[in-house]
Structure 1
Amino acid sequence: MRSAVLDGTTLEALVSAAVAAPSIHNTQPWRFRLDPDTLTVEIRAATDRAVRHIDPVGRALHVSVGCAVLNLRIAVEHFGWEPVTRLLPRPDQPDLLATVRLGGIAKPCSYASLYDSVWRRHTSRFPFSERPLPTAVLTELAEAAHAEGARLHHLSPLRTGRVLHLAREAEHRNTADSDRAEESRRWVREADGSGLGMPAETLGPQDFLGRVPMRDFGAHRHAGVLAVPFEKRPTIVVLTTAHDRRTDWLRAGQALERVLLLATAHGVRASLLHQALEWPDLRERLVSSADARPHHAQMVIRLGYGPGGPASPRSDGLGRMPL
């Protein structure tokens, strides 16, 4: 579907695509504003939805917003415009993280086919099968990350074990830290359906063999959590950037979402193992000192074939967009 006019229906579709992006704890830490004169959508940080204990410097917030920016770019192109994107365009407005202007007629681009995946992508925190990912798929995912200014590292079994060990250590620290544990609990959706956090059915089971350290959002494993064995040889990739500035975090988010959407297009499920990134000393150890170029870990991703995760609730976004 293509549109030459930014009418209300198209605007709603653009914003709906943007807010379909993943975000830390499903906090959806973004706000949108349209400048009707320039047809520019502003994406601002919703700092009231930040997780200040888990993400004190706002790195994960920026990564989350970067995911929304990528979805918005894809939707803008889908409806016929060229998405002209600027990151941190106004230093005097630090909450303005990005703008996407609806430019001229869209040019063919390599992510044009990902629009359908925007609506089908869901995080899956369930066990995956032992079926390995084809090398060709892993190569495509790495190319997608590179196109957005990031690198995707497919880990060897030895490095996979080390990274999962760091995630387990981080998860142990998180559940032992009362502030972080309470913060996680606040972002689990209430049983009556109120709130925008994650419904219990999206959280998935725990791995009783400890192969994959799934986050315990209940903090101290609440009653009723199913425990099952996860895959013996999980496929783990680490997304990195050469630098670690706010712009790099936003680029990492765009790279992350492009990888996740392409994985969805290939029928590959994904879950995000963010725990070790929340502790500076553990985050440093996620990257190998043997690599020739310095880089900074921005996300740990588990990939595989298995059941899709249920959709988490989303705000409509339009209530936050003054027209």
Structure 2
Amino acid sequence: MNAESLDTNTITALVTDAVAAPSLHNAQPWVFRYVRDTGVIRLYADPERALPHTDPENRGLLMGCGAALFNLRVAAAAAGLTPRVLLLPDPASAELLAEVHLSGTGPSDDTLAPLAPSIRRRHSSRLPFRDEGIPAATRERLSEAARLEGGELFFPDPWHVRSILDRIRDAEESEALDPGVHEETVRWTRTKPSAVTAAADGIPGEAFGPRQRGTSVPMRDFAVGRPVPGRDSKAFEKNPNIALLGTARDEPVDWVRAGQALERVLLRATADGLVASITSQPLEWQDIRWAVRDPVSAMANVQMVIRLGYGPEGATSPRRPVTEVLDFV
């Protein structure tokens, strides 16, 4: 298959897989454009879906777009195409994040296509996991997944995990005092199920998960004090498996790369029978973010906190129709 033979249905299918990616508050801050003459898919950030109080530098926005970009690469490889990616190709256009050249020739990444079945299976699980460790071989596969995308995955020791949980509580206290952050959380989360709200974005009530009882795992409480019909409380794992995803540098291109690394890790975890939830909550405050990293680790900039384990899969979050995020020129 070559670029000239790619029709509307093929491109639509690729982008449908791309937008299954996670994003901050499920805001889905991406736009795709297929240029017929060149066979190139362009990925743009959608500034209308930014969260200026929660994510003032757009770090989370670019990570979400990076995750969608990685899904696009996986879907393309599974379709027999070779995706060649240029990141931030136009310095004059900050919203143009990537150009993906698709062809049926050239060297291919054989590690991409096997991850395709995990795209639709991957859901954030904010449910209790089993108190069970992750085998060393599985951890190494996850770490290798991050390295393949220019990132680093670090599994902190129990002392560091407790420190991270403390930093999350610090972040929650800071959020409670910031009306702008509170308003954004309320805007992008719904206390009722998606079947009732019919919303195509944001986080529905069934995806909040239960309230934590007597334990603490690194998850944002999207209810922020609001009643959620039918929501109960449960005991979560006492010893959560936490991983930190980071990068050497901390520029916009690194955030896009970090998003790709994050999604590769999550798809690899899904393929290995793990479930996961992610949070950037303690990383959204500059006076807290620095304290999350391990001072003896070589990781310079933590980009995401990942909770991994064995347990029930999470609820499916809604997605916008692909016709809203894809156009053809």
- Bin for the TM-score computed over the shorter chain: over 0.9
Contact 1:31–1:43 (CA under 8 A) maintained in structure 2 = yes
Partner of 2:202: 197
1:322 is paired with a residue of what secondary structure? strand
Matches within 5 A, 1:31-180: 31-105=31-105, 107-180=108-181
Partners of 2:275 and 2:311 within 8 A in 1: yes
2-structure distance, mates of 1:294, 1:180: 28
What SS does structure 2 have at the residue aligned with 1:133?
Answer: coil
Per the alignment, do residues 214 and 226 of structure 1 end up closer, same or farther by CA in structure 2, a change over 3 Å counting?
Answer: farther
Partner Cα separation in structure 2 for residue 89 and residue 312 of structure 1: 31
Contact 1:207 1:213 in 2 (8 A): no
Of residues 187-196 and 232-241 in structure 1, the stretch that sits farther from structure 2 once superposed is 187-196
- Deviation of 1:213 after TM superposition, in Å, equals 4.2
The alpha-carbon distance between structure 1 residues 208 and 3, as it changes in their structure 2 partners (threshold 3 A), is farther
The TM-score normalised by the length of structure 1 is 0.95
Q: Does 1:281 align with 2:282?
A: no
Offset from partner CA, 1:275-313 (integer Å, 9 cap, x none) = 10110111111112223x351000000000011011111
* Residue in structure 2 matching 1:236, options 236, 242, 247: 242
Query: Following the alignment from structure 2 to structure 1, what is the Cα–Cα distance between the partners of residues 159 and 203?
Result: 33
The answer to whether the Cα contact below 8 Å between 2:73 and 2:112 also exists between their aligned partners in 1 is: no
Q: Which residue of structure 2 aligns with residue 271 of structure 1?
A: 277
Superposition RMSD on alpha carbons, in Å?
1.6
The answer on whether the counterparts of 1:207 and 1:214 sit within 8 Å (CA) in structure 2 is: no
Distance 2:94 2:13 in 1: 27
Question: Deviation per CA, 1:118-154, whole angstroms, max 9, x where unpaired?
Answer: 1110000111001211111000000000010000001
Q: Give the Cα separation in 1 of the matches to 2:275 and 2:60.
A: 21
How far is 1:177 from its partner? Answer: 2.0
- Aligned AA (1:17): D
Deviations 1:85-129 (A, max 9, x none): 011000011100111110342625212200010111000011100
SS in 2 for 1:272: strand
Instruction: Give the TM-score of the pair, scaled to structure 2.
Output: 0.93
The aligned residue for residue 223 of structure 2 is: 218
Does the 8 A contact of 2:205 with 2:228 survive in 1? no
1:141/1:201 CA distance change after superposition, 3 Å: same
Cα distance, 1:47 vs. partner? 0.6
Structure 2: how far apart are the matches of 1:115 and 1:195? 23
State the shift of 1:171 in Å: 1.7
| TM-aligned CA deviation for residue 318 of structure 1 | 2.7
Q: 1:98 and 1:213 mapped to 2: Cα distance?
A: 31
Unaligned runs of 5+ in 2: none
For residue 155 of structure 1, what is the amino acid of its counterpart?
P
For 1:272 and 1:148, the matched residues in 2 are separated by 18
Q: Residue 252 of structure 2 is aligned with which of 246, 261, 271?
A: 246
Q: Distance in 2 between matches of 1:40 and 1:91?
A: 18
- 5+ residue gaps in structure 1? none
**Partners in 1 of 2:276 and 2:109 — Cα distance?**
27
Corresponding residue for 1:308?
Answer: 313
Amino acid paired to 2:150 = G
SS of 1:89's equivalent in the other structure is coil
Structure 1 stretches of at least 4 aligned residues deviating more than 6 Å after TM superposition: none
Taking every aligned residue pair, what percent have the same amino acid on both sides? Answer: 43
Q: Aligned in 2, Cα 1:133/1:3: closer, same or farther, shift over 3 Å?
A: farther
